Amino acid sequence: MREQLLEKFGELFGGSAGAKVYFAPGRVNLIGEHTDYNGGHVFPCALTIGTYGVARKREDKKLRFYSMNFEKLGVIESSVEGLKPEKEADWTNYPKGVMWAFGEKGMEVTCGMDLLLYGNIPNGSGLSSSASVEVLTGFILRDMYGFAVTNQDLALIGQYSENKFNGVNCGIMDQFAIAMGKKDNAIFLDTATMEFEYAPIRLEGAKVVISCSNKKRGLGDSKYNERRSECETALAELKKVTDIQTLGDLSEEQFEEKKDAIKDPVRVRRARHAVYENQRTMKAVAALKANNIEEFGRLMNASHVSLRDDYEVTGIELDTLVEEAWKVEGVIGSRMTGAGFGGCTVSIVKDEAIEAFKEQVGKAYLEKIGYAADFYVVEIGDGPVIL
Ligand code: GLA
């Protein structure tokens, strides 16, 4: 892979002398969905699929970007001066946003660069191809300029750029999972305090399977920001009757006691999801630590039901994938993962059931939706690296 990427870089940008090859993973969230902007817990892990980048600093101010995933767009040129998001949002808004964000944080990116990217995360699949590009860009800039930032800082800078440059009010989960990834471990992160711990994922006789709906969506055009503001309004209403900072501060019982303060039934459901999902995530991690994978699976299933009925971010594609998965013998748990509205589901499937899973779920999906789903048996990998 490394050699091929360098060769392509050389063809496009006049040789590859001085260029370096980098990689940042994608991520999948096992449980804890739409909790990260509500002060709750999440439980994602980095994947071994992700984004490769070849980069070389330039002496002038020029930026030359090329993605092997969007070859038709060719080399896209701009300048490191006066960075602003392009209306016609193309992928270059992600690396540019991160360069801009470093500047905002007092770390000026003074020179241009040539950058080639190749990602093997399906685009728009909900496995965080954009956060992967953001963390990758930050990782490259740190290496190029020697900026004194930790991997956690890279996550925060990536999120900042996505919020402020790309206009998506995402939480910290994706960039954190990518920047802090650890092989064979998921990350149990409390987004209220940023305290985290690694939890080994030892699935004896089972694997993590991702089913991709092939229904594309970007967070910009989804109801993501709407959900976020519904939760903010519900929180403001609850704050009038109880002393909390975030929805993640509430137990299920406390929520049931105080929920009448929320004046709209839709918002009650949104907040209920945020509260219960946070509690479920803590219970799921405890179950995993106790080696009770069956309970972990049950909590995954309950997470999906809540995202479907209370949070309303699933849709027929994700519901079909999950509901068909639940019918397959040997499926320990299955749920949508990521923002929703399309993208992927994550399932834990016993080894001997994987073939039947792909076949049965694939067939039912094609019949009902009219186009095929894709299935990936994935591995949990490390954070960004220089190759
Ligand atoms: C997207 C966002 C994350 C998180 C998830 C939902 O992936 O980028 O911050 O909110 O949706 O859990």
CA distance 265 to 96: 41
Buried b (16+ CB within 10 A) or exposed e, 16-29: beebbbbbbbbbbb
pLDDT in tens, 5-16: 999 999 999 999
Which atom of ligand 1 has the smallest separation from the CA of 224?
11
Annotated catalytic residue: which of 174, 190, 310, 319?
A: 174
Ligand 1 centroid distance, CA of 172 (Å)? 8
The whole model's pTM is what?
Answer: 0.95
Which atom of ligand 1 has the smallest separation from the CA of 162?
8
pLDDT of 224: 87
Ligand 1 pocket residues where CB is under 6 Å: 33-34, 36-37, 170-171, 173-174, 338-339
- Ligand 1 test: best mutation among 36, 38, 162, most atoms within 8 Å of CB? 36
Ligand 1 centroid distance, CA of 134 (Å)? 14
pLDDT, mean over the chain: 95
Which atom of ligand 1 has the smallest separation from the CA of 128?
7
pLDDT of 219: 56
Residue with CA at minimum distance from ligand 1 atom 9: 171
Ligand 1 centroid distance, CA of 17 (Å)? 38
CA distance 93 to 65: 11
CA distance 168 to 141: 22
pLDDT of 84: 82
Ligand 1 centroid distance, CA of 357 (Å)? 27
34's CB contacts (< 8 A; 6+ apart) are 227, 231, 273, 274, 277, 307, 311, 313, 339, 340
CA distance 325 to 336: 11
- Residue listed under structure tokens 């090859």: 21
Segments in the chain below pLDDT 50:
none
Annotated catalytic, 184? no
Residue with CA at minimum distance from ligand 1 atom 11: 339
State whether the Cα torsion 335-337-342-347 is positive or negative. negative
Residues 118/5, Cβ–Cβ less than 8 Å: yes
Which atom of ligand 1 has the smallest separation from the CA of 42?
12
Ligand 1 centroid distance, CA of 195 (Å)? 18
